């Protein structure tokens, strides 16, 4: 009897694994993974530069571990979003895998359980604090799911939704920094906390850019529905400025030596990228805000921050 059950279980397991794999291919594009890798490297490197200015930074084995953990946790959060946004997606995104039946909610939850166990166990190898922080990220994702089911205002008011949902990004940022403090790549100075503002601004400029349109679409979660197209575009540009100004203020490139002193001023020039996007939106008749400049800005900024941290020395 046991053999019959095992024989029946194996095909079902492989079918589910294949469906999860196809879901990941569709909903977790390579640029999401690239973003996660650059996010961790830029965040850890900048935090190290701010908190341990006289100690050269370079990625370690612990850094690689954090990259892998953040990558799978971002997939976990994507799976949470797929389920909590199901009713919305049935109307506005009918091609999504959960809507079409390409994957089931049960299969997503099975995968989420495996990711949760693996990410907590892997974080425990780094430090107890790392494991507690990543458990907080996973738990907050589930809390958001519950809040959106219970509160129509959280589901339908995009600004309130942002206030409620964005902290999960801050928790991931806190996980990376606190874990790096535990494993020795980052020092525990209060100024390190300011680095979170840089990454919040960079992400939010992209978040507003991708949800801005000239067309008011009742029922769709667009910032332009709440702020107007010009207000939403201005908010995206403002967040880019906040990210760059805070980065320059906290890193203080004028105190760096060698190539880092040049690299340290590049973020100011990068503001031209979102500025071009805002100018194009204002001058053209295109309905949608151009997202490519927002993507280029965030990826370029992270690459510059990584390079700066690698070569930086204080005068």
Task: Mention every residue, 6+ apart, whose C-beta is less than 8 A from residue 138.
Answer: 73, 76, 116, 119, 120
Note the pLDDT of residue 204.
97
pLDDT of residue 9: 44
pLDDT at position 225 is 92
For 76-120, the pLDDT digits (tens) are 999 998 988 888 888 888 888 888 888 888 899 999 999 999 999
pLDDT the model gives residue 315 = 52
pLDDT computed for residue 299 by the predictor: 96
CA distance 315 to 137: 38
Query: How much is the pLDDT for 14?
Result: 66
Q: Would you say the pTM of this structure is higher than 0.85?
A: yes
- The C-alpha atoms of residue 187 and residue 247 are separated, in whole angstroms, by 18
What DSSP letter does each residue of 102-127 carry, written as one string? SS-HHHHHHHHHHHHHHHHHHHHHH-
pLDDT confidence of residue 119? 97
Domain extent listing, the chain: 1-188, 189-315
Alpha-carbon torsion (59, 65, 70, 75), positive or negative = positive
**What separation in angstroms does the CA of 258 have from each of 84, 186, 253, 265, 305?**
49, 22, 11, 13, 15
Measuring CA to CA, which residue among 181, 183, 145 is closest to residue 164? 145
Q: Are 22 and 103 in contact (CB under 8 A)?
A: yes
- The C-alpha atoms of residue 298 and residue 67 are separated, in whole angstroms, by 17
Interhelix angle 128-150/61-84, rounded to 10 degrees, is 10
CB contact burial 294-312 (16+ within 10 A = b; e otherwise): bbbbbbbbbebbbbbbbbb
What is the structure's pLDDT at 178? 97
The domain 189-315 having CATH identifier 1.10.600: the answer here is no
What lies within 8 Å, CB to CB, of 171 at 6+ separation is 133, 136, 137, 140
pLDDT score of 96:
86
Local structure of 62: helix, strand or coil: helix
Q: Which CATH number fits domain 1-188: 1.10.357.140, 1.20.210.10, 3.40.50.300, 3.30.1330.30?
A: 1.10.357.140
pLDDT in tens, 259-301: 888 999 999 999 999 999 999 998 888 889 999 999 999 999 9
Which H or E element spans position 313? strand 313-314
Over the chain (315 residues), the average pLDDT of each successive run of 10 is: 48 75 86 93 96 88 97 94 84 85 89 96 97 97 88 89 94 97 92 94 96 86 93 97 97 87 94 96 88 96 96 69
Distance CA 229, CA 161 (A): 19
């Amino acid at each position: 009897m046991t053999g019959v059950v095992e024989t029946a279980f194996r095909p079902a397991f492989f079918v589910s694994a294949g469906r999860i794999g196809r879901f990941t291919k569709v909903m977790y594009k390579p640029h999401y993974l690239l973003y996660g890798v650059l996010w961790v490297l830029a965040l850890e490197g900048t935090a190290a530069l701010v908190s341990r200015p006289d100690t050269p930074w370079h990625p370690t084995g612990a850094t690689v571990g954090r990259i892998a953990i953040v990558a799978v946790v971002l997939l976990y959060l994507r799976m949470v979003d797929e389920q909590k946004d199901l009713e919305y997606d049935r109307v506005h995104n009918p091609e999504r895998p959960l809507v079409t039946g390409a994957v089931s909610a049960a299969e997503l939850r099975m995968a989420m359980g495996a990711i949760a166990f693996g990410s907590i166990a892997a974080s425990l190898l780094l430090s107890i604090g790392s494991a507690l922080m990543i458990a907080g990220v996973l738990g907050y994702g589930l809390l958001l799911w519950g809040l959106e089911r219970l509160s129509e205002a959280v589901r339908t008011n995009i600004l309130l939704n942002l206030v409620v949902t964005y902290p999960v990004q801050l928790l991931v940022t806190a996980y990376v920094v606190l874990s790096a403090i535990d494993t020795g790549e980052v020092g525990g100075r209060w100024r390190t906390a300011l680095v979170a503002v840089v990454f919040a601004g960079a992400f939010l400029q992209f978040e507003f850019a991708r949800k801005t349109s000239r067309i008011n679409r009742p029922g769709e979660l667009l910032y332009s529905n709440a702020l107007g197209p010009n207000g939403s575009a201005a908010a995206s540009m403002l967040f880019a400025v906040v990210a760059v100004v805070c980065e320059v203020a906290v890193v203080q490139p004028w105190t760096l030596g060698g190539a880092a002193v040049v690299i340290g001023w590049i973020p100011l020039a990068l503001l031209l990228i979102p500025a071009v996007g805002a100018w194009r939106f204002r001058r053209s008749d295109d309905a949608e805000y151009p997202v490519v400049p927002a993507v280029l800005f965030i990826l370029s900024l992270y690459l510059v921050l990584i390079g700066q941290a690698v070569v930086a020395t204080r005068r």
